[in-house]
Amino acid sequence: MKSIALSKPIQVHNNKVTVLEIQEPKFDQVEKYGIPFSYSERGDMRLDTRSALSYLPELTGIPRSSAQQLALHDVFVA
């Protein structure tokens, strides 16, 4: 598990949260949401934003409505 200090607090179940605990994805989650990145023929990494954002609520244990409150900087860090 990895801790990420948020640059801006969010509300989770009526509680102010300043740190998110993120779990490592498991096989079933990767099967469900896919790999959130790929590599081009030139070796450049491409982020699959839809897949990456889908992981956030599940791996942090917060509701989607709380994940939507995350500052963009915190989304990128996570």
Please count the structural domains in the chain. Answer: 1
Mean of the pLDDT values across residues 55-76? Answer: 95
**C-alpha to C-alpha distance for 35 and 32, rounded to whole angstroms:** 9
Model pLDDT, residue 47: 85
Confirm if 6 and 35 have CB atoms less than 8 A apart.
Answer: no
Structure tokens at 2: 């990895």
Q: Which pLDDT score, from 0 to 100, does residue 63 have?
A: 97
- Tell me which residue range forms the domain holding 41: 2-77
| Helical spans, DSSP H, in the chain | 27-33, 49-60, 64-67, 72-77
Q: How far is CA 61 from the centre of its chain?
A: 10
- Structure confidence by residue, pLDDT tens digits, 2-61: 999 999 999 999 999 999 999 999 999 999 999 988 898 899 988 888 999 999 999 999
pLDDT at position 78 is: 87
